[in-house]
């Protein structure tokens, strides 16, 4: 019988267990540069089968929140290299999540105070985080502008360059492409945010075009075996919505099956919220079946509100990996706690976004 604590292969990544630390935005990288405190944070959690970093911007234009890290500058890559070395010294595996937020941004965060970009000039009914004088504040996102067709190749190139820099310069074991949660690639996928009439809008094939171009470019640079992707078929996060998500995402995973990815990371239900959404029904078993039927061999990662019992059942039902989010904020030794059925520390929500060591690196491990 498969166990959470079995070793598992995900493409080129040999993982010591099936427990994954989900990407968690923590807003502790001023000027988009990873800090020494982040070294400690990630190294503390190196016993995970796989660490997925917080979402990390591929370009200045891709930034959407204050004090989140980037992958487009030398100081940023140097900072990440110190983190990957610390994780590897602890025997861990770590991939970086590649992020372009699209319309989920603010003019204060954009180059030269410009408008955020999007598939269509439709504002997201959501908020972002600005940090001023050390105080995080939620503010409405700014009105975006629609990307010109001629701009899209540069965005694809930015993903590719970020992936290559992540692996070859910063020392990551691979990358995860963020195609979820209402950010740029998800905005192109979903009908609620994509009203284009060119080759990147309208039909399912057209709306999936940019995401698939990005994945092909990234795998061309670092190999499919070091590339994962995160998808969220029905989450309402950041004003995401599609009129008919099942055929859209069935198509997407059938195309991804051809690219020999390390893993597919699926958010079930509303990100950080309800798993069951009667107003947005979706068949995740059908999605996985579509991927496998098309020849997809990547590990299948499930995510959203899992505890140990749910995770064990998911593995019995065929999931290869289970991602844990909030439990990893407060429990750097989550693998050991799950293995021994130890109680979990409770996370301090007031310290989730921004700040210093408090609520970040000061949660006690079992040995302490």
Q: Which two tokens stand for residue 244?
A: 């008919």
Phi, psi angle pair for 230, to nearest 5°:
-110, 130
> What pLDDT digit, counting tens, does each position of 255-302 carry?
999 999 999 999 999 999 999 999 999 999 999 999 999 999 999 999
Q: Distance of CA 57 to CAs 66, 70, 109, 320, Å?
A: 11, 4, 12, 28
Sign of the torsion angle spanned by Cα atoms 58, 62, 67, 68: negative
What is the percent of the chain where pLDDT is above 90?
97
Q: Please give the Cα distance from 196 to 116 (Å, whole number).
A: 17
pLDDT-based confidence at residue 96 (cuts at 50, 70, 90): very high
Average pLDDT of the chain, as a whole number = 97
Does 367 score more than 80 pLDDT?
no
* Contact by Cβ (8 Å): 263, 280: no
Does 368 score more than 80 pLDDT?
no
> What pLDDT digit, counting tens, does each position of 160-196 carry?
999 999 999 999 999 999 999 999 999 999 999 999 9
pLDDT-based confidence at residue 336 (cuts at 50, 70, 90): very high
Report the alpha-carbon angle 354-81-4, nearest 5.
75
Exposure string (b/e) for 207-220, b if CB count within 10 Å is 16 or more?
A: bbbbbbbbbbbbbe
pLDDT-based confidence at residue 135 (cuts at 50, 70, 90): confident
Query: What would the mean pLDDT of 322-328 be, rounded to a whole number?
Result: 98
Strand partners, 175: 96, 227
Task: Show Cβ contacts of residue 313 under 8 Å, excluding neighbours closer than 6 positions.
Answer: none
Q: Please give the Cα distance from 41 to 126 (Å, whole number).
A: 28
Does 88 score more than 70 pLDDT?
yes
> What pLDDT digit, counting tens, does each position of 300-319 carry?
999 999 999 999 999 999 99
Closest CA to 159 of 183, 182, 142: 183
Q: Please give the Cα distance from 234 to 49 (Å, whole number).
A: 27
Q: Please give the Cα distance from 49 to 15 (Å, whole number).
A: 5
353 catalytic residue (yes or no): no
Q: Please give the Cα distance from 356 to 348 (Å, whole number).
A: 13
Q: Which two tokens stand for residue 259?
A: 């690219």
Q: Please give the Cα distance from 207 to 335 (Å, whole number).
A: 39
pLDDT-based confidence at residue 211 (cuts at 50, 70, 90): very high
pLDDT computed for residue 132 by the predictor? 81
Q: Which of 183, 251, 263, 284 is catalytic?
A: 183
Looking up tokens 């983190």, which residue turns up? 83
What string of H, E and C letters represents the secondary structure of the chain?
A: CCCCCCCEEECCEEECCCEEECCCCCCCCHHHCCCHHHHHHHHHCCCCCEEEEEEEECCCCCCCCCCCCECCCHHHHHHHHHHHHHHHHCCCCEEEEEECCCCCCCHHHCHHHCCCEECCCCCCCCEEEEEECCEEEEEECCCCEECCHHHHHHHHHHHHHHHHHHHHCCCCCEEEEECCCCCHHHHHHCCCCCCCCCCCCCCHHHHCHHHHHHHHHHHHHHCHHHEEEEECCCCCHHHCCCCCHHHHHHHHHHHHHHHCCCEEEEECCCCCCCCCCCCCCCCHHHHHHHHHHCCCCCEEEEECCCCHHHHHHHHHCCCCEEEECHHHHHCCCHHHHHHHCCCCCCCCHHHCCCCCCCCCCCCCCCCC
Domains of the chain: 8-351 (3.20.20.70)
């Amino acid at each position: 019988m498969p166990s959470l604590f079995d070793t598992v292969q995900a493409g080129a990544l040999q993982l010591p267990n099936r427990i994954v630390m989900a990407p968690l935005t923590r807003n502790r990288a001023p000027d988009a540069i990873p800090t020494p405190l982040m070294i400690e944070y990630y190294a503390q959690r190196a016993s995970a089968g796989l660490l997925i970093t917080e979402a990390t911007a591929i370009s200045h234009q891709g930034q959407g929140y204050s004090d989140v890290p980037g992958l487009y500058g030398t100081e940023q890559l140097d900072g990440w290299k110190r983190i990957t070395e610390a994780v590897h010294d602890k025997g861990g595996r770590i991939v970086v999540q590649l992020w372009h937020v699209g319309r989920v941004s603010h003019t204060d965060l954009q180059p030269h105070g410009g408008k955020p970009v999007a598939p269509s000039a439709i504002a997201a009914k959501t908020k972002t985080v600005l940090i001023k004088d050390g105080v995080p504040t939620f503010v409405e996102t700014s009105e975006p502008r629609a990307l010109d067709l001629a701009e899209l190749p540069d965005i694809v190139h930015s993903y590719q360059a970020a992936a290559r820099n992540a692996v070859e310069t910063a020392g990551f074991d691979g990358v995860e492409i963020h195609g979820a949660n209402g950010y740029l690639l998800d905005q192109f996928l979903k009908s609620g945010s994509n009203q284009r009439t060119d080759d990147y809008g309208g039909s399912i094939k057209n709306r999936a075009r940019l995401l698939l171009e990005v994945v092909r470019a990234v795998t061309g640079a670092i190999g499919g075996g070091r590339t994962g992707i995160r998808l969220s078929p029905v989450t309402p996060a950041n004003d995401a919505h599609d009129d008919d998500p099942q055929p859209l995402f069935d198509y997407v995973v059938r195309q991804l099956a051809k690219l020999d990815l390390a893993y597919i990371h699926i958010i079930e239900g509303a990100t950080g919220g309800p798993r069951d959404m009667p107003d947005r029904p979706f068949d995740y078993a059908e999605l996985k079946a579509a991927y496998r039927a098309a020849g997809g061999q990547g590990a299948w990662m499930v995510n959203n509100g899992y505890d140990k019992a749910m995770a064990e059942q998911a593995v019995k039902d065929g999931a290869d990996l289970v991602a844990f989010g909030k439990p990893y904020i407060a429990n750097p030794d989550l693998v050991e706690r799950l293995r021994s059925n130890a109680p979990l520390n409770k996370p301090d929500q007031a310290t989730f976004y921004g700040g210093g060591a408090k609520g970040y690196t000061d949660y006690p491990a079992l040995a302490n």
